[in-house]
Amino acid sequence: MDISSSAIMVLLACNPGQAPVCHRIEMPTQIYSSLADCQTALADRLARSPNGEILGRCRDIDANVTASLPDGYASVTVTRGTQPTNYLVPRKR
C-alpha cells in the first residue's frame, strides 16, 4: 500500500446536551488503501449511532506532510463546525 494515497479514520464520541462535549475514541489506527474505502467504512460505522453520538472523518495521509513527524505517526485534522483540531495518531505499517 502506498502511504501517499492512503487514508485513516478518526472518530469522536459526543455527549449531547446544551454544550456538546466530544473526545477522541481510542481505537487502533486503521489505514485504508484509499479515501473512498475509508468513507465507505465510516458510513457503516456512523450508521450504528443514528442519534449522532459518534462523529467521524476520513483523512488522506500525505507523505509530504507526515515526513517530518516521528516515525510511525501521522497528523490528522478533524473539523467540527468551523473549529479544526489536530491530532498526532499512530499509523500501522
* Residue-level pLDDT at 41: 92
Where do the DSSP E strands lie in 1-93? 7-15, 21-24, 31-32, 54-60, 73-80, 83-90
Report which of residues 54 and 18 the model is more confident about.
54
38-90: per-residue pLDDT in tens?
899 999 998 888 777 888 888 887 645 544 555 677 778 888 888 788 777 77
Alpha carbon 79 to its chain's center: 10
Give CA–CA dist 28/18, Å, rounded.
31
CA-based torsion, 72, 40, 79, 62: positive or negative: positive
Instruction: Provide the b/e sequence for 68-82 (b: ≥16 CB within 10 Å).
Output: eeeeeebebebeeee
Give CA–CA dist 77/93, Å, rounded.
20
Q: Where are the domains of the chain?
A: 3-90
